[in-house]
Amino acid sequence: MAMGYKLLGVDLTEVSSLDAALNLAGLSWDCPTLVLGEVALCYMDPARSTALIGWAAERFRDSRFVLYEQSCPSDPFGRVMTSHFASLNSPLLSLSEFPHIQDQEQRFLHKGWKTCRALDMNEFCASCVPLPEVQRIHNLEPFDEFEELHLKCSHYFILVASQGFLAEHPCLCPVPERCTEFEMGPRPVPSGSLAAVPFPVPVTGLRRFGHRSCHMASHGVVTTGGFGEKDGRHQRWAATAFSYPSLRRKGHFGSRWTFFSNSSCRGGINLGTCRRGLHSESDADEFTA
């Protein structure tokens, strides 16, 4: 262990005890100081954690406070996130008063920090992580769950508050208005409009989103992929649904959806007198829901 390195066990809710312990350990208050809060203040009572932030601004003349925590508790992901920590008897107490990163920025500024900047983790990765490092991470192993990653990163943030001469040297890069890394080519210039023709499907009960549906001429509607609820759980659907015309009433849809596993669709499906393989979509009017 390095000379002069000391570990202290102190209750952070008791600022006076923390101050005394640091003095006893021989801390030099005038040295440039980094204060790091990695998912720690969020478990404290908001009034006490805010008092700790103000104390640090007063005691450390030249310092930076780096905070990494959760945000956005009110959307579906945020509600699951907060309920998860609550189920572990570790509720995220700070989110009730500081739900968004803008609230956290104002919190630090109001407690005496000269500058404060916060980025969610998507913004941080796009603007602060060097491109070679991004490429190195992408090459570690195959990865295709970017939707889930971006969703989680939008609920975590990094905040940097600075004091003294350090406030003159910002360490978080500004987020560009345009991210050229993701531009695939010139932006298309609209030259007209496309007419949307609604296709009524009176069969109800198929509750999905993010799926794809195809009108198979007069033979019905095929729906595949997407997300929905099954057996009480929200999950990705692996089955293909088909609503086909009733043989007794030609041109009208049947009263239910018929489901097939994706593996059984590879060779086509026999639909009575309407023999048509679901893999053939060359003459289908395709739309995305």
Strand order in the sheet with 156-163: 33-38, 63-70, 156-163, 115-120
pLDDT digits (tens, 9 = 90+) for 107-161: 999 999 999 999 999 999 988 899 999 899 989 988 888 889 999 999 999 999 9
Distance, CA of 66 to CA of 108 (rounded, Å): 11
For CA atoms 243, 237, 153, 53, the dihedral sign is positive
Distance, CA of 277 to CA of 110 (rounded, Å): 65
Q: What was the pLDDT predicted at 98? A: 97
What whole-number percentage of the chain has pLDDT above 90?
50
Q: What was the pLDDT predicted at 212? A: 77
Q: Domain limits of the chain?
A: 28-173, 208-288
Burial 21-47 (b: 16+ CB within 10 A, else e): bbeeeebeeeeebebebeeebbebebe
Answer yes or no: is pLDDT of 270 > 70.
no
Answer yes or no: is pLDDT of 174 > 60.
yes
Distance, CA of 18 to CA of 39 (rounded, Å): 19
The whole model's pTM is what? 0.62
Answer yes or no: is pLDDT of 178 > 80.
no
Q: Which CATH architecture has domain 28-173?
A: 3-Layer(aba) Sandwich (3.40)
pLDDT digits (tens, 9 = 90+) for 69-85: 999 999 999 999 999 99
Residue 271 CB: number of other CB atoms within 10 A? 18
